[in-house]
Structure 1
Amino acid sequence: MSKRPPLKSSVLLGVAKVLPRCRWCYCSPAKFSNGFISLVLNGSKGSFTLVSQQNWPQVHGVPAIQGQLKSVDEDFFVDEIAAEKPSGEGKFLWLQVEKKSTNTDWMIREIAKTIEAKPEQIGYAGLKDRHAVTRQWISLPGFFERKLEQQDHVAGFKILQRERSKQPLKPGMLKGNRFEIRIRQLSAAEGQPELTQNEIEQQLNQKLQKIAAEGFANYFTEQRFGYENIAVAKDFLEKDKPVAQSKQGFYFSVARSLIFNDYLAQRIQRQNWNQCIEADLLLEHETGKQKFAPEIARFAATVAKGKLSPSGPMYGKGEPRAGGQAYSLEKQVISLHSDLAVGLISYGLKMKRRSLRIFAQALSWRFEENDLLLQFELPAGCYATALIRELVDYRSASQQPNDRLASN
């Protein structure tokens, strides 16, 4: 375990540049009601409400339909889209594996145990959910191949392909994921009027058409936050409570994801999550390139077409590069997480950007009796459940407290 590095004066100065002082934000004390935080900033900047995690707003309206997600693992199928294919030769062995009812971390430990390797010798591009059927590539040094010759199936997963490559897999070497999802037991949501099957299908068809055309909010969802991940991240970064070094990166991500989601929620409340505002920092969907937008008129049409989208902070050291109205809102959100922000900077995390809006590729759907079947692709780091929460108020039959490392 490693403790937080001591803060240097230059780091503290960097925080001061981003975090507004109380006299800047005119903040009044936080008010707590029914477990939801409502912090209002008064003054010339206007009112500002921090939305709770349980109530981050949808962009296509609150769902009037509910459904069951992951009744069985086969209801949630994920096929990893690798950023590159194995070269066919080299000193590393790539394996395409299919797993069920296990997360990537557990699978890697089991493979390491089977071939007498260290878990850190096994590479992967992305983590996959436990409660699903998933396919992904992993890599290991080629000299372990002989030990794997008789191992096509180990409890919880099986090996589908074996290929040689010149380099190992590393986190981030991932283009995206392909999803096939079944949502069962569709009905009117609690408190909503009863709906016939035809009415349910009509409402979902309309929403799916809007999602296909306009995209949806690029939230981090429960796979990132779990039951207690936010609390652990706050204890780690705000109170310096020890966390195993192997888990620190995950809790950095939890903290940054919380700040990002709160910023996205503010943009949705202002109805400009998919529009260019003054001095926005935009991201190009195809390339990921950043574009500063000092003039709204210059970029408004390109944003409306979905080629560019506004971005939000994945907080860390460095200037946000957004300005004007966009930067002002970022500072307000970050100020509400000032202890987390200081912790992230003290560990040397660098500022990154994430698109507020995402589009599902190859989106298709059909109905089977009382179920909705979805097929679509998302870029790496985007969550299928962020799309699903726009459609239905869902309950996951398999959500467990120990799923903290799961990611779709």
Structure 2
Amino acid sequence: MGSTRPATSVTRSTQRGAMTAEPAWVCAGLPAISGRLREEQRDFVVVERLAYELDGEGTHSFLRVRKTGLSSFEAVRRLARALGRREREVGYAGLKDRHAVTEQWLSIEHLDQSKLSDLEIPGLELLEVTRHRNKLKMGHLRGNRFEIRVRGAAAGDGERAMAMLQRLAERGLPNAFGAQRFGHGGVTPRLGQALLTGEFPRFFQLWTAGEDALGEGPEALLARGPGERMLRDGLMRWRERGDAEWALRGVPKRFLSLCTAALQSEVFNEVLRRRLPELGELLPGDIAFLHRNGACFAVEDAAAEQARAASFEISPSGPQPGPACLRATGQAGEIEDAVLEQFAVSHELFDVRDPWGQKGGRRALRVSLPPESLAAKELDDGGERCVELAFELGRGSFATAVLAELLRDEALR
């Protein structure tokens, strides 16, 4: 970790043994920093920024909470149980990492706020309560502020980190989905693929113990002692009816959707890898992403549009496969088609009416890193040199993309 050696070797992709060139780095030529990440929960702090101001009126109670060591799903589950509400009644704008200290907003309509006075939930602290006129929904998010501590840093790493952050602000940050999107061992996209291909027993087998459990029935899978409640519930339903597809009815729809979304993200990340390091360079046939409003359009003349990309008005985009995803053509289309073939998926595969169906769309290959949000400083923590980083990202972008560049660690992206 933290080597300054340029990434020029050829590596084997983790998906189906495909050979791909290891990507270059936006910060190539600048020395990387060294150190260790996430040794303590407080080393990774995330503060959510909502997309709008709360007006203090309305039927929806908005709760700003600080969670430690909990996923957003688990925080919602615990809060709903403590208040005697259903999980689906709790609104949230985004999903936050489990292995962190995170502040985010949750909403509940028609809540008797007196129930909050003596609320005690392990891992969850209530910071603020107000009201608003609408339910909080996914996407009601401007972005997130990150404060990250890198332990075991070398002397001078604060200055080195700041130089790389400034480079990313100038050229754009690779908009890769973080490793947390893909679950432990990268199994979540495989769950999504099993859903889309109708391999429902395989879905439960992979979820329980990965490929080690392939071929096992519900009884054997339950004997493995799966820890997640919703997995145990699904396996018991499968055992009850002998029908793995019917058992999926007991699995939260949002989790099933998350599995196929992870497969979309895997495709996008591979397209991004193949376009590095020139993420601001338009190719013939590209679909451009307009940063001011998220609109996309087909690039007819890449040379003529390049000035708009240079000013960060637009950027090339990558696919999140599905029927609504605009299709690139020409050189850009060849890259995307090759990646779809690598992962054995098509846009049409996601076009199902089940809870795991996905419409698809486009995502910018790079995003801005606001210069005014950047900070990097060295400090002493218990006799150990650390670098404390601070930056802001828009919604849907991952801090691990920043850390990958600073530490030059391919495993982070």
Per the alignment, in what secondary structure is the counterpart of residue 186 of structure 1?
Answer: coil
SS at match of 1:154: coil
Equivalent in 214, 217, 222 of residue 171 of structure 2: 214
- Could you tell me which residue of structure 1 aligns to residue 3 of structure 2? none
Deviation by residue 1:196-218 (Cα, 9 ceiling, x = unmatched):
x24x4554343223112112211
Deviations 1:307-346 (A, max 9, x none): 2111001110046243322222222211222346553123
Q: Which residue of 1 aligns with 2:331?
A: 325
Is the Cα contact below 8 Å between 2:145 and 2:392 reproduced in 1?
yes
Provide the residue aligned with 2:48 in structure 1. Answer: 80
2:306 aligns with one of 278, 287, 300: 300
Which residue matches 2:143? Answer: 176
2:188 to 212, 218, 229: 229
Q: Decide whether aligned partners of structure 1 residues 356 and 116 sit closer, same or farther in structure 2, where only a CA change above 3 A counts.
A: same
- State which of 94, 99, 112 in structure 1 corresponds to 2:62: 94
2:100 matched residue in structure 1: 132
| 1:256 maps onto 2:215 in alignment | no
Using the size of structure 2 for normalisation, the TM-score is 0.76
C-alpha distance in structure 2 between counterparts of 1:229 and 1:77, whole Å? 24
Any residues of structure 2 matched to 1:187-206 within 5 Å, and which?
Answer: 187=154, 197-198=155-156, 200-201=157-158, 203-206=160-163
Counterpart among 141, 144, 156 of residue 123 in structure 2: 156
* Contact in 2 for aligned 1:123/1:138 (Cα 8 Å): yes
Structure 2 unpaired stretches of 5+: 1-10, 201-244
2: CA distance, partners of 1:335 / 1:251: 19
Q: Distance in 2 between matches of 1:201 and 1:112?
A: 42
- How far apart are 1:393 and its partner, in Å? 4.9
Q: How many positions carry a matched residue from both structures?
A: 341
Aligned residue identity for 2:258? F
Aligned CA distance change for structure 1 residues 113 and 245 (closer, same or farther; 3 Å): closer
| SS of residue in 1 equivalent to 2:396 | coil
What's the offset of the Cα at 1:97? 0.8
Which amino acid in 2 is paired with 1:333?
A: V
Residue matched to 2:232: none
CA RMSD, 1 decimal: 2.6
Counterpart among 358, 362, 379 of residue 394 in structure 2: 379
Q: Is the 8 A contact 2:325 2:347 kept in 1?
A: no
Return the letter of the residue paired with 2:368.
Answer: F
- Aligned pairs for 1:9-48 (under 5 A) are 37-39=16-18
Decide whether aligned partners of structure 1 residues 325 and 35 sit closer, same or farther in structure 2, where only a CA change above 3 A counts: closer
Cα gap change, 1:132 to 1:300, in 2 (>3 Å): same
Query: Is 2:118 aligned against 1:118?
Result: no
Letter matched to residue 386 of structure 1: A
Contact map agreement 1:38 1:50 (CA 8 A) in 2: no
Aligned partner of 2:368 in structure 1 is 359
Q: Which amino acid aligns with 1:108?
A: V
Counterpart for residue 240 of structure 1 = 199
**Structure having the larger proportion of residues in helix:** 2
The one-letter code sitting in structure 1 at the alignment partner of 2:42 is E
Contact kept in structure 2, 1:80 and 1:136, CA below 8 Å: yes
Check conservation: 2:47, 2:145, Cα contact below 8 A: yes
**Structure having the larger proportion of residues in strand:** 1
Counterpart-to-counterpart distance in 2, 1:34 and 1:292: 30
8 Å Cα contact 1:69-1:395 kept in structure 2: no
Residues 318 and 231 of structure 1: CA distance in aligned 2, closer, same or farther (over 3 Å): closer
Identity of aligned residues (%): 30
TM-score computed with the length of structure 1 as normaliser: 0.77
Aligned equivalent of 1:46: none
Deviations 1:13-65 (A, max 9, x none): xxxxxxxxxxxxxxxxxxx96967554xxxxxxxxx546xxx66543349754
Indicate conservation of the 8 Å contact 2:261/2:358, yes or no: no
Out of 347, 368, 374, the residue aligned to residue 379 of structure 2 is 368
| Residue 145 in structure 1 maps to residue 113 in structure 2 | yes
SS of equivalent to 1:134: strand
Distance 1:319 1:368, change over 3 A: closer
- Paired AA for residue 191 in structure 2: V
Task: Please say if residues 317 and 350 of structure 1, whose CA atoms lie closer than 8 Å, have aligned partners that are also in contact.
Answer: yes
* 1:290 is the counterpart of 2:258: no
